[in-house]
Structure 1
């Protein structure tokens, strides 16, 4: 992978405009190539994305694409950053929700939505992230949300990182659910319904008393989607409670 070339493409809006050259006008733009690749991954999965397939979709020769992007690795970086940028989080000086907790909730909601819309995003590494404007806009927004609530700088950075990891982990799980349902044509509730015999024939209430009590008291009454959303919101709110407790004077 050509790291410098990849970064140059990711931050193409900041590079100096290339001098106009004589000759034929390019048939495509890089944004068209990225949008086509994203649409293909959304419809059929990341594995279907190849330079030849994208060229076919755009009705150009495969070698033509290499004048826009060096290869699939760099293209995937551009795809990831493009969909992250679509969160459209308020930037510096732009209107934000009132209160840091509402700001974090907005980050969580839009991140979850983008993973659900683009399930293939779950397979990308956030350990070695794509250092593009879409990713950094999210991090800037999140750090700004927690940097002025009274935490020391290192704790504020840790809080932002903890929120980011929690949200992305849950968003990736949600994306996996969407992807599996799409690939199999079967909902998660239907999958569990097919296995109802497990609870009747194999589940041992004596070995799982806590689970049994939870079931009998109605703790598992929600459907899969509702339970997932409840767990996500519950965990996020408790995390925010914990952060807030660090800066709220004890009475």
Structure 2
């Protein structure tokens, strides 16, 4: 897909993987709208890349619809959507203090899975109205899963389930939206240097890096952005989940 001036939304684009994707796509020529809850950081990134920031709770239908409307008014019909917004709290199914509160599990599913679907459906509605290119393509969606979808660690039941749902949605959505000329792919990252990771002690970061076959370092947000760029750029990459994990296979804990 062509990048030049294509209206693009990136959820969770104020920091971490989303910021990496927002910067990469803006550098490629897209008109990027950052949708996030972190206003200060989101506005700063938007200024850096010549984009706009829009406050958005991806798990809320009203908030998401209002955000897409604002992005549409500013840039036009969405042609590229990258969904990076998510949460990753830990909690055991059965811990020392009893069972995991159902509300804790539900809240993670609401943001990571339902929030992803919420933005997918709204972006697809925009894309379906765009003029197709020579291949008949109208838009591209890139979702974010995790290696935890395949090798969930102890304490990751909610997170693993939510990301497993995103993985399962990928091929189905690609098949269903094919008639509209919309491609859908997913990135499943391993261990990346996100703001949460950066706040951990050096020894923790080093021990995590040591588990990676190669390269033995944490991934960089800009490397996630490179993969998002390629998923948009390559017209035959569709319905695919790509692990971006330095050949990592997670241990139970």
- TM-score in terms of structure 1 length: 0.28
More strand by proportion, 1 or 2? 2
More helix by proportion, 1 or 2? 1
